[in-house]
Amino acid sequence: MDLRITCIPGDGIGPEIIAEAKKVLDTVAKQYGHTMHYTDILMGGASIDVHGVPLTKEAVETAKSGDAVLMGSIGGDTTTSPWYRLEPSLRPEAGLLAIRKELNLFANLRPAVLYDELVAACPLKDEIAAAGFDMMIMRELTGGLYFGEKRTIEENGVRKAVDTLVYDENEIRRIAIKGFDIAMKRRKKVTSVDKANVLASSRLWRSVVDEVAKKYPEVTLEHMLVDNCAMQLVKDPAQFDVILTENMFGDILSDEASMVTGSIGMLASASLNDTKFGLYEPSHGSAPDIAGKDIANPIATVLSAAMMLRYSFDLDREADAVESAVREVLQSGYRTGDIMAEGCIKVGCRQMGDLLADRIK
Ligand code: IPM
Ligand code: MG
């Protein structure tokens, strides 16, 4: 099979972790008889430095012409990087938001799994960690506060800023359908997270999710308020299967969920539209403080590449091979600095990539 993959190395540790993901993908290609066609595009700070904007039309067109996008990370240090002296619409993150919108990537899947090998890195109490957890956060990605009307004004000498949280029923329905579809392939439970005791958008969210649920009688649906969910994630994460939520809540809850897995360096993500097309990226940021030092953890990017094989190319065996390689390397005791534990062998980013590629069967 020919796989046309657009790569966005991006900023900070992005180029290093993308290089390791490609190493693993190339091994998969060799062993399973596929051909990888990579095309790089610039986004974020890397694009600002060359083109003065975080994403060009040409880059979007290139991305649209491929089968899937594999991204590293974008952005820099928000207090020191000159990128953050630009107006907000020209900063690195605006490129990421624009590509999500341009490619209509409304469904963001962020799986948070506690690997047995990383239980020691889990910051939760032993008895909670021992129960393990395996959840999928389904975050709506092209609506809500991120894309609603924004303005900053001055009224009678008082500065005022407005962000608008807006959802229509179609936006809610399509993400809810994806959430229930995914739940059908998992443990058949959906926890829809909102703030219906305060927000009108959440009340609409809840009623549309209830409508969609009627078509999935096998799936158990529960509604949970977002503040309670934040608490439940550290109290009893094992209760969750699919968490279905809007853009901003999903942003916050997915960082929390990633930390309880032991490290944000392990969390993959897929952003999908209505077709097989998707953008795959680690859930973590560009970590400018450790960029270029060969100490970043490439596993979240490698696992994102596995999600790409599974969701965009229907290559389940190949995706399984990548995920098994990750487990085997962890079982053999290899760790990057962020997940290092006593008695383990500390390796850098490149060596972790080599170890993973070596274990592709
Ligand atoms: C994420 C990130 C982005 C978001 C930022 C970089 C705009 O935090 O993918 O979770 O808020 O969506
Ligand atoms: Mg985030």
pLDDT tens, residue by residue, 30-85: 999 999 999 999 999 999 999 999 999 999 999 999 999 999 999 999 999 999 99
Residue 317 belongs to what H/E stretch? helix 316-331
Per-residue pLDDT tens over the stretch 74-118? 999 999 999 999 999 999 999 999 999 999 999 999 999 999 889
Q: What is the share, in percent, of the chain residues with pLDDT greater than 90? A: 96
Residue 351 belongs to what H/E stretch? helix 349-358
Catalytic residue among 11, 22, 23, 146: 146
Residue 135 neighbours by CB distance under 10 Å? 27
- CA distance to 51, 128, 149, 230, 258, per residue, from 323 (Å): 37, 24, 41, 28, 17
Which ligand has its closest atom nearest to the C-alpha of 256? 2
Residues 84 and 17 in one domain: yes
Q: Which of 240, 215, 23, 13 is nearest to 110 (CA)?
A: 240
Mean pLDDT confidence for 337-348: 94
* pLDDT value at residue 326: 97
Nearest-atom index, ligand 1, CA of 269 = 9
Answer yes or no: is pLDDT of 177 > 90. yes
Closest protein CA for atom 7 of ligand 1? 93
Query: Based on C-alpha coordinates, what's the Rg of the chain?
Result: 20
Q: How confident is the model at residue 120 (pLDDT cuts 50, 70, 90)?
A: confident
Answer yes or no: is pLDDT of 222 > 90. yes
Answer yes or no: is pLDDT of 210 > 90. yes
Nearest-atom index, ligand 1, CA of 75 = 6
Task: Give the integer Cα–Cα distance in Å for 267 and 301.
Answer: 8
Answer yes or no: is pLDDT of 171 > 90. yes
Pocket-forming residues, ligand 1, beta carbon under 6 Å: 75, 93, 96, 251
Residues 129 and 216 in one domain: yes
Which ligand has its closest atom nearest to the C-alpha of 94? 1
Which ligand has its closest atom nearest to the C-alpha of 144? 1
Mean pLDDT confidence for 164-183: 98
* pLDDT value at residue 169: 98
Write down which residue in 204, 234, 260 finishes a domain: 260
Which ligand has its closest atom nearest to the C-alpha of 300? 1
Q: How confident is the model at residue 246 (pLDDT cuts 50, 70, 90)?
A: very high
Residue 222 in any domain: the answer is yes
Q: Give the CA count within 13 Å in the CB-facing half-sphere of 84.
A: 8
Give me the amino acid identity at 205. Answer: W
- The answer to whether the CB of 141 falls within 8 A of the CB of 101 is no
Task: Give the integer Cα–Cα distance in Å for 250 and 257.
Answer: 10
Cα of 208 from ligand 1 centre, angstroms: 25
Catalytic residue among 26, 163, 181, 255: 255
Residues 327 and 290 in one domain: yes
Task: Give the integer Cα–Cα distance in Å for 164 and 55.
Answer: 24
Task: Give the integer Cα–Cα distance in Å for 49 and 99.
Answer: 18
Q: What CATH number does residue 23 fall under?
A: 3.40.718.10
227 is catalytic: yes
Q: Which of 83, 89, 96, 283 most suits a substitution to test ligand 1, by most atoms within 8 Å of the C-beta?
A: 96
Residues 288 and 241 in one domain: no
Mean pLDDT of the chain: 97
Cα of 329 from ligand 1 centre, angstroms: 29
Residue 117 in any domain: the answer is no
Mean pLDDT confidence for 152-181: 97
Per-residue pLDDT tens over the stretch 308-342? 999 999 999 999 999 999 999 999 999 999 999 89
Residue 12 in any domain: the answer is yes
Residue 242 in any domain: the answer is yes
Residues 342 and 223 in one domain: no
146 is catalytic: yes
Answer yes or no: is pLDDT of 233 > 90. yes
Closest protein CA for atom 4 of ligand 1? 251
- Model confidence pTM above 0.75: yes
Mean pLDDT confidence for 174-188: 97
* pLDDT value at residue 121: 87
Q: How confident is the model at residue 245 (pLDDT cuts 50, 70, 90)?
A: very high
Q: Which of 127, 132, 72 is nearest to 261 (CA)?
A: 132
Mean pLDDT confidence for 337-350: 95
Cα of 19 from ligand 2 centre, angstroms: 23
Give first-to-last CA distance, the chain, whole Å. Answer: 18
Q: Which of 43, 74, 93 most suits a substitution to test ligand 1, by most atoms within 8 Å of the C-beta?
A: 93
Nearest-atom index, ligand 1, CA of 251 = 10
Task: Give the integer Cα–Cα distance in Å for 223 and 139.
Answer: 15
Cα of 357 from ligand 1 centre, angstroms: 29
Residues 87 and 159 in one domain: no
Write down which residue in 260, 289, 314 finishes a domain: 260
Answer yes or no: is pLDDT of 227 > 90. yes
Q: Locate the DSSP E strands across the chain.
A: 2-10, 35-40, 68-73, 107-113, 134-140, 150-155, 158-163, 189-194, 220-225, 242-245, 270-272, 278-280, 334-335, 345-346
Catalytic residue among 195, 241, 311, 338: 195
Nearest-atom index, ligand 1, CA of 141 = 12
Q: Specify the 3-state DSSP secondary structure of 329.
A: helix
Residues 102 and 166 in one domain: no
Domain count, the chain: 2
Catalytic residue among 251, 280, 311, 338: 251
Residues 235 and 279 in one domain: no
Residues 225 and 331 in one domain: no
Nearest-atom index, ligand 1, CA of 92 = 6
